[in-house]
Amino acid sequence: MTDQSHTPTDAPSPGASHTMSGIENEYYSQEVHGPYETYSLGEFELAEGETLPDCQIAYTTFGELNDAKDNAILFPHMYSGTSKDMELYVGEEMALDPQTYFIILPNQIGGGLSTSPHNTPPPYGQADFPNVRISDDVRAQQQLVTEKFGIDEIELVLGWSMGAQQTYEWAVRYPEMVKRAAPIGGTARNPPQSSLLVDALISAFKLDPNWNDGYYDDHRSMRQGLRQHARTWVLMGTSADLWREEEWRAAGFSSLDDFMHRLWDEWFLPMDPNNLIRMAWKWKHADVSRMTDGNLESALEQIEARVYVLPFEEDMVFTLEDNRLEEEMIPDSELRPIPTPWGHFGMFGFRPEDKEFIDTAIGELLDESVA
């Protein structure tokens, strides 16, 4: 995405005010992830019962909302990501074309740009930040979409990993609002092995000698825990083929160490562990069947959208089989496995053909006429 095609609806709000009220972390800033705007939800009651006094949702948009307000696309982001990371799939030569669509990229609560542990003052800052659920994000996004933009039907909701979890929550919670849905590399109910991965990721932080019950002075003092977290994630987020065939070379890395340091450590080390922990908890507990007394089939049956379920063939976190089992329960759906040695991390688009496969699928879904 070039800067030119970025057309923010409003002038970017200064990110500094957020950053100053919690722990200083220049990573979560307009400079790195902007431009973005924020929408204030005011007091926002979370599913788990606590209330964030001033909940802000950061978001960015591309394209223009048309007069009929029927060209909106919503594209929430994955774990450890921000709206910026989704821009890879937005562009004039792509399915998510801002000349046609009004594309909204919301940021997760706890993701670092929206209200998050690191930027929240007492009593909810750092380790005291309450647990947030996928449903909280989706309710917040629904407020943004309806109150701020007056949209009552969305052409397509899509997302990867935790973005897929949000996509499913949207399709089940607001079936009348979602015309099409494309969950990519994620499921409606988090698989148990994926939950065990979350546990291992969180405990990596707690093992760090500087953890201090989450009241570390500076995220940089947590680099050992952040690295252990990164290395554990990479094990499960990839596939044996990626390593055996050294597919990472084609992505421009000169050695395995180069790949590990310059991609994965570089990705995670600037982040705030409390932010990651709150996102991870949300990921672990994602489950649309919370809306139907634990009955997953009943929940998925409520989906009215046309759905493309897009798993990565060798994904070890949200496996092909996990996706297949859910897809069978979704009325108007199709399973389209993405063949890539990158496993769960296929969405990063390190291999041009993966990005193209996904872009093509999104295009075909958008081309389908939906009642």
Determine the Cα–Cα distance for residues 107 and 32; give it in Å rounded to an integer: 14
CB of 196 to its own copies, least distance (A): 6
Residue among 180, 189, 59, 181 at smallest CA distance from 135: 189
Residues within the interface to its own copies (CB under 8 A): 191-193, 196-197, 199-200, 203-204, 207-209, 224-225, 227-228, 231-232, 234-236, 238-244, 246, 256, 316, 319, 321-322
Q: What is the DSSP letter of 147?
A: I
What is residue 199's DSSP assignment? H
Q: Which is nearer to its own copies, 218 or 246 (CB)?
A: 246
User: Among residues 153 and 247, whose Cβ is nearest to its own copies?
Assistant: 247
Q: Which of 208, 285, 344, 359 is catalytic?
A: 344
Q: With CA atoms as reference, report the closest residue to 36 among 112, 119, 129, 124.
A: 112
Instruction: Report the nearest approach of its own copies to the CB of residue 257 (Å).
Output: 11
Tokens of 54: 């001033």
Q: Active-site residue 315, yes or no? A: yes
Give the nearer residue to its own copies in terms of CB position, either 141 or 228: 228
Cα dihedral 284/127/166/68 (nearest 10) = 180
Q: Which of 307, 357, 321, 286 is nearest to 158 (CA)?
A: 307
Q: Cβ neighbours of residue 325 under 8 Å, at least 6 residues apart?
A: none
The residue from 97, 272, 287, 315 that is catalytic is 315
Is 161 in the active site?
Answer: yes
Q: Which of 209, 352 has the CB closer to its own copies?
A: 209
Cβ-contact 189, 135 below 8 angstroms = no
CB 207 → its own copies: shortest distance, Å?
A: 5
The question of whether 219 is a catalytic residue gets the answer no
Compute the least distance from the CB of residue 137 to its own copies, in Å.
25
Catalytic residue (choose from 135, 161, 194, 239): 161
Give me the active site residues, please: 161, 315, 344
